[in-house]
Amino acid sequence: MLEEKVAEQITTIDDLVSGMKVAGKVTGTELYGAFVDIGVEHNGMIHISRLSRQRVNKVTDKVNIGDEVAVWIVDVDPQAHRIGLTMVAPPDVSWDELADGQILTGKVVRMEKYGAFVDIGAERPGLLHVREMGKGYIRHPSDIVKDGEEIEVRIVKVDPQKRQIDLTMNLNMSIRELREEEEEEEPFLSPMEIAFRDAQKGTQRRKRPNDHRKIKRNQRELEDIFQRTLNQR
């Protein structure tokens, strides 16, 4: 687990360290973020993308002038008098602490038709693909897990560079066996690839009736031409 650095006595920007937790008061808001007084000579800034783990459409939906907030130092540039802040708490588990084969307890935080995303305390949730939920056909992830449910999962693969964590509910098979089983199954498609495939199928379905009508129309035209030719004779 990451050790949280809590600031007790801060007087200047030079006292700030990345990862440090400090208390502050919101002094201003803009479309792109909020400014916070954390007790040093310059205010820090929380970008709108760092106000919450979820998407924030409007800064004032999360903070307003005068609000007291807990923030973490992201980066400090004393020469430019710039202090980057975030309201998103650092992860409990760093990427270095994650390893293939680990068994962890996580919470289902989002579900899609291809699987569920599970918060295991890392920077981002891991993906529990529907095929990793059990044997046999599973119509939808909600048949096995529920949103908000705590479940035990095992890490199949972790990729720090891509920020991806693949999970399974199969706690008995070895990682080698799981990977061999995956190779025998259909290749995993990303959410974007799934959407693209579905869009292609939809386009093909829309085209078929038109193509059928076009063939019928061409047949009628040929029959008309043939009939006129016979009449002329």
Model pTM above 0.75: no
- Supply the range of the domain harboring residue 63: 5-86
Domain shared by 80 and 101, yes or no? no
Report CA Rg, the chain. Answer: 28
How far apart are alpha carbons 156 and 70 in whole angstroms? 35
Asked whether residue 42 carries a pLDDT value surpassing 80, the answer given is: yes
Residue 25 within a domain: yes
- Tell me what pLDDT residue 215 has: 58
Domain shared by 125 and 64, yes or no? no
Domain shared by 55 and 135, yes or no? no
How far apart are alpha carbons 99 and 113 in whole angstroms? 27
Asked whether residue 106 carries a pLDDT value surpassing 60, the answer given is: yes
How many domains are contained in the chain?
Answer: 2
Residue 76 within a domain: yes
Residue 51 within a domain: yes
Domain shared by 178 and 105, yes or no? yes
Domain shared by 48 and 116, yes or no? no
Give the burial class of 94: count Cβ atoms within 10 A of its Cβ; 0-12 exposed, 13-18 middle, 19 or more buried. middle
Sorting pLDDT into bands at 50, 70 and 90, what band is 179?
low
